[in-house]
Each structure stands twice: as C-alpha cells, then as structure tokens.
Structure 1
C-alpha cells in the first residue's frame, strides 16, 4: 500500500508539470480560439530570462517577477506583430505558424544560452516530508499548490470577470464582439500576454525539477496537449484534473502492468485520449458545442 500511495503522490507531482503548460494552452485558446504550440518555447525563454537575472545577483523572486512582465510584453508583441496576420485566416495556417515560432524560440534560447544543462534555483526547499511511509518533497508540494491557485484564478477569470467574458466573446466570434463595442485587437493582445505570463510561471516552477535546457518542455508539451484533450479546452479545472490523472496512471501502469513497464508508459496518455474521444469527444469536463445552421 505504501508503494501505491507513493506512486500516486509522485504522479500528482509530475502531473502538475503537465498542468502548468496545459493551463496556458487553455488560456490562449479561450482568448483567441487557437492552440499555441509555441507556449512551451515561450515558457522556456521566460525561465532563461529569470535564470540570467539570478546569475547576476538579482533575488529569485524579483527575477521571476521580471520574467513575468517580460513574458506579458512578448506575448502581446507576438500577437500584434505576427499572429494578427493569420488569426482571421485559415486556423490551420495559424497553428503551423505557432509550431514554427516554437522552433525559432528554441533555437534562439540555444544560441543565446547554449544547450548545456543549467541549474535553476527553486522557490521551495528540497527537503522531504514523510507521512505514513510516503515521502514527498516540499518543492513538489509547493509546485502543486501554485498550480491549484492558478487554476482557480483562471477559472474565476473566465467565469466571473468582465475581462474573461470579453476574451471568450472575442475568441468565439470576433466580428460580433467588434460590433458590440469590444476592443478586439487589444483583447487579443491581452489574451496572448496573459498566456505568456502563465507560461513564465510554469517555467519557473518546472525548471528546477527538469534542469534548464532549450528543449526542457518538449515532452511536457505533448503531455499538456493530452491533458487539454482529455480535460476539455473550455475547462481549466478539467485540464488540471486530466494532467493529474495522466501522471498517476502513467506511474501505476509502469509498475503494475508488466506489458507496459517504464519503456511504454508514454503510451498511457494516448490510450486515454482514444478512449475519451470515442466516449466524450468534448473532453471529460468540456462543454459540447452547439452550432445553429
């Protein structure tokens, strides 16, 4: 039983990493209607910015806050000067542009900071807390709590604020939103900026656990996309729960299903995606879209 609980706890910790990126994907989709594959690259760039500042004596908290501000400006600039040219065209073209942007940002990070592993300082202690034979680090606990707080803030943003409702209106129908008097272009910039802020927070939480490299979040981005599909693009709570489910089931399958083991545990989220899409295409917590014709 102790082994089982330990696997569950470790899975929740790993799932929090996936959830951090998944929340940023949900935010940019809710604000623009697009899936931003460059989100992982923008998060890594923010983490490198904070690391560069700490290497020059800036306190960690101030360095992370500075990277958050820079990320907001970067996200808004990307929307204004790049994505705006494609947002009203074919959505597939815009998605391809975000993939190209991911490659570009990763290359820039490697060019500026090299591809060597860098140690990113953690906001939380590495000391472990033991309870009923289960050991979990304070860093994992802190990361999970931060993700939970961000999840509720994001849910509250879209459900209970004028800004969140305006962002959703722009994403659903920008023409109608413009006719209603909403500043569509400004809201799109804000949406991309806020998504970049979430990416910066995710990068700061994840980098101490994975070590900082340009491709640090490549694998996590795949799992985050799986969590978005499972949880539903319209539900921040859903994607976090889905990310935790993926992390826990991946760990349990690796230990208790010999056919899968550690080598094939990467297949677990894809099996879950297949099952969920067959049973509930909108995701576990997503809303079914009704189109009037």
Structure 2
C-alpha cells in the first residue's frame, strides 16, 4: 500500500509538469484555434530568463515572477510580429511555423547559455512528509497544488469572464468577433502572452527536477500534447486530469505490469491515447463540434 501511494503521488507530481504545458497549449488553442508546438521552447526560454535573474541576485520567487512578466510580452511579441502573418492562411502552415519556432528558440537558448547542465533552484523545500506510510516530497505536493490553482483560474477565465468568452469567440470565428466590436488582434496577443506566462511557470517547476538545458522540455511536450488530445482541446480541466492520469498510469504500469516495466512505460500514454480517440474522439472532457452544411 505504501508503494502504491508513493507511485500515485509521484505520478501526480510528474503529471502536473505535463499539465502545465498542456494548459498553455489549451490556452493558445482557445485563443487562436492553433496547436502551438513552440510552447515547450517558450517554457525553456522562460526558465533561462528566471535563472539569469537569480544569477543577477534577485530572490527566486521574484525571479520567477519577473520571468512570467517578461514571457507574457515575449508571447505577445511572437503573435504580433510572426504568427499573425500566418493566422489567416492555412492552419497547417501556422502549425509548421510553431515547430520551426521551437527549433529556433532552443537554438537561441543554447547560443546564449550553452548546452551545459545548469542547476535551477527549487521553489519548494526538498523536505519530505509521510502520508499513510509513504514518503512524499514537499516539492511534489507543491507542484500539484500550483497546477490545481492554475487550472481553476483558467477554467474560471474561459467560463466566467468577458475576457475568456472573448478569447473563445475570436478563436471560433475572428471575422464575426470583429464585427461584434471585439479587438481581435489585441485579444490574440493577450492569448499568446498568457500562454507564454503559463509556460514560464511550467519551466520553473521542471528545471529543478531535471537540469536546466535547452532540450529539457522536449519529452514533457510530447506528453503534454497527448494529455491535451486525451482531455480535450477545449477543456483546461480535461488537460490536467489527462496529464495526471498519464503520470499515474505510467508509474503503476512500470511497477505492476511485468512485460511493460520501466523500459516500455512510455507506451502507456499512447495506448491510452488510441483508446480515447477510438471511443471518444473529442477527448474525455471535450465538446463535439457540429458543422452545419
């Protein structure tokens, strides 16, 4: 039982990292209708910015908050001066642009800070607590708590605020939104900026658990995309639940399913992905899209 609880809590902690990126992807999709593959690169750049602030002597919490603010403007800048040129064209072209942007940002991080592993300080203490006999790190619990708070904020943003409804309207039909008086360009910038700020939070949580390198988010991005598809592109709650489900099932399968083990546990989220796509293509919490012809 102790081992099971340990695996579940560790899975929730790992899943929370995937969830942070997944929420950013959902946010961009809700604001623009695009899948942003560059989100992992933006999170890495934000983590390096926070690291640089700590090098300059800023306390960690202030460094992270400063990186969130800087990342917001970076995201808005990317939308205004790069992505806007492609948003009215073929959506596939815009998606390819985000893939190229991921490569570019990763290269810029390597050029400025090199490929050497850097130690990023942890926002939470490295102490442990005992829950039903299982030893759980405070950092894991803190990571889970942060993701729950962000999820609730985003869910409330999209459902209960004028800004969230305006972002959704722009993503669904920018022309109609413009005729309704909404400032489409400004809203698109806000959507990208918020997603980049959320990526900064993801980077700050991932970097202490790994080491700060230009490619540290590559694996997490794959899991985050799987979580978004499983949970539903339109649901922040679905993205978080799916990310937690991936993290927990991956840990449990590695220990309790002999033929999977640690070597094949990466297949678990993709098996889950195939099952969800067959049974519920819109995702566990997604909405069916009805097109009138």
TM-score grouping bracket, smaller chain normalisation: over 0.9
Aligned to 2:13: 13
Contact 2:9 2:140 in 1 (8 A): no
Aligned to 1:100: 100
Deviations along 1:46-88, one digit per CA (max 9) or x if unpaired, are: 1000101101211111111111111011000000000000001
SS at 2:116's partner residue? coil
Q: Per-residue deviation at 1:167?
A: 0.3
Aligned to 2:249: 249
> Residue 143 in 1 paired to residue 143 in 2?
yes
Aligned to 1:289: 289
- Segments of 4+ in structure 1 off by > 3 A? none
Deviations along 1:182-206, one digit per CA (max 9) or x if unpaired, are: 0001100010000001001111111
Q: Per-residue deviation at 1:36?
A: 0.4
Contact 2:16 2:243 in 1 (8 A): yes
Contact 2:32 2:188 in 1 (8 A): yes
> Residue 213 in 1 paired to residue 205 in 2?
no
Q: Per-residue deviation at 1:10?
A: 1.0
Cα separation, 2, equivalents of 1:10 and 1:205: 14
Q: Per-residue deviation at 1:131?
A: 2.0
Aligned to 1:54: 54
Q: What's the TM-score once normalised by structure 2's chain length?
A: 0.99
Cα separation, 2, equivalents of 1:264 and 1:205: 25
Aligned to 1:163: 163
Residue ranges of structure 1 left out of the alignment (5+ in a row): none
Cα separation, 2, equivalents of 1:7 and 1:60: 29
Aligned to 2:43: 43
SS at 2:107's partner residue? helix
Aligned to 2:261: 261
SS at 1:265's partner residue? coil
Cα separation, 1, equivalents of 2:101 and 2:87: 15
Pairwise mapping of residues 62-211 of structure 1 onto structure 2 (< 5 A)?
Answer: 62-211=62-211
Cα separation, 2, equivalents of 1:52 and 1:146: 23
CA RMSD of aligned residues (A): 0.7
SS at 2:266's partner residue? helix
Q: Per-residue deviation at 1:2?
A: 1.4
Residue ranges of structure 2 left out of the alignment (5+ in a row): none
Q: Per-residue deviation at 1:9?
A: 1.1
Contact 2:232 2:286 in 1 (8 A): yes
Deviations along 1:242-281, one digit per CA (max 9) or x if unpaired, are: 0000001001111111111111100001000100000000
